[in-house]
Every structure is written in C-alpha cells, then in structure tokens.
Amino acid sequence: MPNSQSDHDLVTRAQLGDARAFDLLVLKYQQRVAQLIARYLRDSSEVLDVTQEAFIKAYRALPNFRGDSAFYTWLYRIAVNTVKNHLVAKGRRPPNDDISTDVAEQTEWGGKLQDTTTPERLLLADEIACTVQRALDELPDELRTAILLREFEGMRYEDIAVAMNCPVGTVRSRIFRAREAIAKQLQPLLD
C-alpha cells in the first residue's frame, strides 16, 4: 500500500472517530515533526511540548482536512505555525547565535561533519555547520521555510507550493535565493 494511500485511509478512519488511526499517524510522524520543531527551538523539553501541541491542534483540525494536499504537508504547516506562535508568545525569534551540538546532530549534515579526522578539519566542519545554521536563521521566513522543506524534508516543489500557498515558480525562486544566501556566507570558509 503506497504511503499516501495509507495516510489517506488513516485520516479517513480518524475523521470517523477512530482514535487508534490518529495514534498511528502520530507514531508515523512524531519524529519528523519533532526534528522540524528542533530547528526552531534548542531546549528538548520545549521541543516535546510544542510537538505535542502541534499534534493536538492537528487532531482538533482533522475534521477540516479535505485532502487537497498530502497529510504530512498539512501537518507540517500546523507544526511550523505552532512553533512560530510559541516563539512569539515567549517574545523570541529563532536564535541567531551558533548552533548547539544537539541541533547539529539532528540535521542531515551533523553526522557527516563529525566524520572528519584532523583537528583542523573538525574545526572547519564546526565553522561550516555554524555558518549554515546562522545563514538559515537570518533568512526571511518565506526563504527559510522553502529551503527547509526542500533540503531537510525532501519535499517536491509542488508539495512545497501547496504547503506555502504559492505558485511553484515562487517556490523555485525562494529556494534559489536561499541557496544563494547560504553559499555567499559559506564562500569565505571554502576559499
């Protein structure tokens, strides 16, 4: 059974009142949602709280889910809005300082950077990780969301367009501009 069909069946069952079906959706996506939220928050207990809040909001909004997009695309939108609302409520924005080790290990490039062998390479890898995270933090919300969806979530341009409620051409432009901004900040380290 294809992944999206499985989600469709679980969503339909959950909308009809089957709480176990929604539990299966939570089990399937809780790790991905937590990793997404961890890109905005550094405190692991805060990540867990906001992840739980996002799933509660999704459960309450489930009757309104029409299936116009993939379930994860819809859930992603709820999770991002939930973490942004949490940050605003706390009077904070995503941090602009260096990335912590915990966050670096949760990103795709974190483990790869730790495979280096010399102290100089370790230092350079750490500087690259910090620079990428800082560059992501400094991007406008539209660019950051587009690049995170594409590079970290592996979503297709069409799904990103649905999640961000904009044309595919706009998504491509935002991703291009985000990559350009990150590359510009990395260039001095790579020269």
Residue ranges per structural domain of the chain: 1-94
pLDDT at 96: 39
Instruction: Say how far apart CA 158 and CA 167 lie, in whole Å.
Output: 8
- Which phi and psi (to 5°) does residue 160 adopt? -65, -40
Summarised one tens digit per residue, pLDDT across range 35-84 is 888 888 878 888 889 999 999 999 999 999 988 888 988 999 999 999 98
Q: Has residue 101 got a pLDDT over 60?
A: no
- Which phi and psi (to 5°) does residue 111 adopt? -65, -40
CA angle 90, 25, 10 (to 5 degrees): 140
Instruction: Say how far apart CA 42 and CA 101 lie, in whole Å.
Output: 10
Q: Has residue 167 got a pLDDT over 50?
A: yes
By CB neighbour count within 10 A (0-12 exposed, 13-18 middle, 19+ buried), where does 117 fall? exposed
Q: Kindly indicate whether the domain formed by 1-94 is annotated with CATH number 1.10.1740.10.
A: yes
Q: How confident is the model at residue 88 (pLDDT cuts 50, 70, 90)?
A: confident
Residue type, 14: A
